[in-house]
Amino acid sequence: MADSLYFGASDLEDRTIRQVVALAMDAPAAAQSGHSGTAMALAPLATMLFSRVLAHDPSDPSWPDRDRFVLSLGHASILQYAIAHSFGYDVSLDDLRGFRQAHSRTPGHPEVGVTPTVEVTTGPLGQGLANAVGLALAERILRTDFGEDLVSHRTFVIAGDGCLEEGVSHEAASLAGSLGLSSLVVFYDDNRITIDGATSLASVDDAAARFRAYGWHVVEAGEVANDLDALEAATREALSDPRPSLVVLRTHIGFPSPAMMDRREAHGTPFSGAQISEVKALLGVPDEPFVSSADIAQAQRARLAPRAELWRERLSAAGPRGERFLTQWATYGALSDEVDAPHYDGGNVATRKAMQAAMDAFAPHCAGLTAGSADLTDNTGVLLKHSVAQGVANPGGRQIYYGIREFAMGAALVGQSLHGGMRAAGSTFFVFSDYLRSSLRMASLSHAGALFVFTHDSVGVGEDGPTHQPVEHLAALRAIPGLHVHRPSDANETIQAVEAYLRSRHPEPTALILSRQDMPVLTGEDATASREGAPRGGYVLREREDARVTLVATGSEVGVVLDAADQLTDQGVSVRVVALPCWTCFERQEASYRRDVLRRDIPSLSLEAGATLGWHRYVDEPLGIDQFGMSAPGAYVFQHFGITAARVVEQVLHREEAS
């Protein structure tokens, strides 16, 4: 064995660290892509955590009460893969050889559902830390509901300079501090190197002082990155405090490479063959690629307590309480009770008000639901009247006040949704989806079944003006693959959509786009068509076999085109009307259904109070708003931009004359 590089380590831990460091060089070198230096420097910390601190079980990687480990600096993914391999998880040498290659189980950044030990999909810096706030929130609520014998795990995060510089981490850390999330520990990899060079080029922050100001407990561990006993002591100190904790570690990127340590090139440049050989000589490991000692994983697995098995014994002993936990876990806390759904018989109702009516009816029966907003709870319809505000005083509270932190809210929703046993709803004005769009994207990428409620959905916001009037936002959200962007046609359709989301045993990421202003409630045959067709994402509201044109709309504009259809019928023009509340749902229908709904053999026209981008896929002539709005009363703004029945009638009659 080479001279000691790592202190306080058992022989097994020392061999594990050296193996992880070697693999952290080999995999990026083979891929000619990847980040070795950070993984090398953090190998002792990760080994200490998995060896001494984390409650985990390679024989059952997804048991509910495991500690969560989040590598927020996801570019260092090879660290997590090499650790998982070395501790006996189902990550083979072939998987490591396939690092960053097509269809491998070791992608360039950790992806949940692909590799064991990966809890959330990390990559965009800072989001892993913010996801972890959601994970810790879910744990606290479930622990309060089911007891510490069934739920008592911690969330550990490794974050870097980039994570702490990104704005989402500021929001998330402030939120975690205000909530007092005691089961959250973040390790700050203070290596002082970024891709451009020294961190001092762009940041002179005092991270420790900043986190103390957020209400965190801070452990300034100093130069202990290679001392496992000191790392453990710092971790135990962090866990002993009732606040969330930041452990600041001074590390040296690329350690122990004489050529690459503390250099910016160690960040994202694979090491050369000569540099790898030099480090392996220092490590005392064979100078061959992908050398792994099978006895390391076997020994690590053997020394770990059978955590999952012991937990299942406690679960069995819990009787009915344990059964309730398993049901909630398996269904993400789905609504299962028979509940009388609210119903509107005509009139005019804003869909955001219908959202609140749905929450009033369904939320008390949905055990896994949390809800909150970015400081707009009364405006967006997500007030849980049966619950209390989440916080230290009410650890089981389902009402979460996220503050004016849209991005952190979105990321925390993802964390809660991926934790298990929970489903989370968050809300804000639609225009502010800009602030959290990256977390929306990550929700869809990671199949996190969160509900994003966006109200004040159009220029109907009125006097607040173009800064608050969403125009391009529907097109932007619809472009996210797999995200269900649902703009209901009326209040009852809104309630139906909320109930369907809450009843789903495997909810998908969903964005509900709701109106500020009152809009007509569908009645008669129109209401029947909505009730039957809305779940399919698109449906025929009014069919006419002799129709000469199809009018298509979403949201509040459905009522407008129905009015236009009545006027055109009075003028002898036969019209059919289609609603397309959710394009993603509609595209999942069979081709014959979509053809029957759209009937592209006759001219078609759409109306939506937003950008027309994307509408040519469904209609011949889209009418909308392809510019920013204006500050004026909402009715005037709609009139000014032609979101009116009169404009639809005019366009159809013009087509009739031209043909």
Summarised one tens digit per residue, pLDDT across range 134-148 is 999 999 999 999 999
pTM value > 0.95: yes
pLDDT of residue 628: 98
Helices (H), 201-350: 207-213, 228-240, 265-268, 273-283, 294-303, 307-317, 320-331
- Half-sphere CA count of 152, side-chain side, radius 13 A: 9
Confidence bin at 40 (pLDDT 50/70/90): very high
* pLDDT tens string 258-304: 999 999 999 999 999 999 999 999 999 999 999 999 999 999 999 98
- The tokens 């509201």 sit on which residue? 541
Residue 541's CB is within 10 A of a number of other CB atoms, namely 24
Give the span between the Cα atoms of 316 and 75, in whole angstroms: 40
Question: How far is 417 from 414, CA to CA, in rounded Å?
Answer: 5
DSSP string, 518-543: -EEPP-HHHHHHHHHHGGGT-EEEE-
**Segment 481-536, tens digit of pLDDT:** 999 999 999 999 999 999 999 999 999 999 999 999 999 999 999 999 999 999 99
When pLDDT is averaged across residues 650-654 and rounded to a whole number, the result is 96
Tens of pLDDT along 410-461? 999 999 999 999 999 999 999 999 999 999 999 999 999 999 999 999 999 9
- Per-residue DSSP letter, 2: P
Question: 24 pLDDT exceeds 90?
Answer: yes
The closest alpha carbon to 344, from 622, 530, 162, 70, belongs to 530
pLDDT(622) > 90:
yes
pLDDT on residue 308 = 95
The tens digit of pLDDT for each residue in 369-400 reads 999 999 999 999 999 999 999 999 999 999 99
pLDDT digits (tens, 9 = 90+) for 76-92: 999 999 999 999 999 99
CA distance 179 to 530: 41
As a whole-number percent, the residues of the chain with pLDDT over 70 amount to 100
Residue 2 has a pLDDT of: 52
- The closest alpha carbon to 192, from 41, 76, 75, belongs to 41
Q: From start to end of 31-154, where are the E strands?
A: 68-71
- Give yes or no: 148 in active site: no
Q: What is the mean pLDDT of residues 320-328?
A: 98
Distances from the Cα of 175 to the Cα of 136, 415, 444, angstroms: 12, 14, 23
The residue with tokens 């561990």 is 221
Of the candidates 111, 232, 406, 493, the residue annotated as catalytic is 406
Residue 3 has pLDDT above 70, yes or no: no
Q: How confident is the model at residue 1 (pLDDT cuts 50, 70, 90)?
A: very low
Q: What are the structural domains of the chain? A: 11-307 (3.40.50.970), 348-520 (3.40.50.970), 528-658 (3.40.50.920)
CA distances to 221, 380, 474 from 351, in Å: 52, 10, 16
